[in-house]
Amino acid sequence: MSSITADSKLTLFLWLEGFFPKQIVYFLLLKGLVDSPSQLYVGKTNDPRLSIKVLCFNGSAIVDVDPSDPKPAGKSTPCLRITDPTGKNELRWVHESSSIRLLLEELYPEKTPMIGPTPLERALMNDIHSTILQSITDSNYYIKNAAAVTTSWSGMRDEDRSLAVARHGKENHVRALLKAQEWAAESLEKGGWLTPGLDHPGLVDAALAGGARYMELSYSFDLFEDERLGLLKEW
């Protein structure tokens, strides 16, 4: 049976400017696994076991900055490779950005906690987290159908875009954020952050901050432009 040991080497293949990967970037910073974005760009973290293989977008595809240890074809972006130098445990991969964040949270309990300490707080966190991830997915559908500039990475042709689908995606995105805002209201009032049980930004905050920052930088799209999202905009 495979497991992660003190000798295991963790390699995170990460496109730092990417939509979902940016959520991991915020997580690493808030968790204290890195001190600055510049540290990430040179592939370093605060744990020698955890290294970053930086990916970049060359205008048509996501490629490795360092081709000496490339991300295998077919693996997702991001993905986490777990290797055992002793050879006792098989090579394993974790693919989804949300799964990677949760695994790193478990592996580094001595670092800044990113989830609440009680089962109820973690359940409430998952409620808020799931609606935020849904809103981010819906905003992605919106931007792909609304902005021709996304063709380079989405592969969607102009004739396949639909303004009706774009409107539907944006409406669903706002609806999901309104639900997240309602469910996070108590946490925001108590501690000022979205993640229940914490007095500092946690896992939910990293997820939403990463998605919001990507949309702002890439498309000048304010995820919180709807006037009903006042609490989240203030956050």
Question: What is the rounded average pLDDT of the residues 84-96?
Answer: 89
Tally of domains within the chain: 2
More confident residue, 90 or 47: 47
* End residue of a domain, out of 107, 141, 167: 107
Q: What is the pLDDT of residues 17-70, one digit of tens each?
A: 988 899 999 999 999 999 999 999 999 999 999 999 999 988 888 999 999 999
Q: What is the pLDDT of residues 206-215, one digit of tens each?
A: 999 999 999 9
Q: Considering only CA atoms, give the Rg of the chain.
A: 18
Let me know whether 174 and 214 are in one domain. yes
Residue 7 clears pLDDT 90, i.e. is over it: no
Band the pLDDT of 106: cuts 50, 70, 90. very high
Residue 1 clears pLDDT 60, i.e. is over it: no
Let me know whether 228 and 145 are in one domain. yes
* Chain mean position to CA 197: 21
Band the pLDDT of 2: cuts 50, 70, 90. low
Q: What is the pLDDT of residues 129-186, one digit of tens each?
A: 999 999 999 999 999 999 888 877 777 888 889 999 999 999 999 999 999 999 999 9
Residue 72: domain span: 9-107
Nearest to 80 by CA among 35, 126, 113, 45: 45
- Is-cis flag, bond preceding 78, omega within 30? yes
Let me know whether 60 and 137 are in one domain. no
Let me know whether 145 and 196 are in one domain. yes
Let me know whether 141 and 214 are in one domain. yes
Let me know whether 13 and 61 are in one domain. yes
Let me know whether 147 and 223 are in one domain. yes
> What is the pLDDT, as a whole number, of residue 72?
93
Given a contact cutoff of 8 angstroms between Cβ atoms, the answer to whether 116 and 201 are in contact is no
Cα separation, 227 vs 98, whole angstroms: 28
Let me know whether 103 and 123 are in one domain. no
Residue 58 is assigned to a structural domain of this protein: yes
Let me know whether 32 and 59 are in one domain. yes
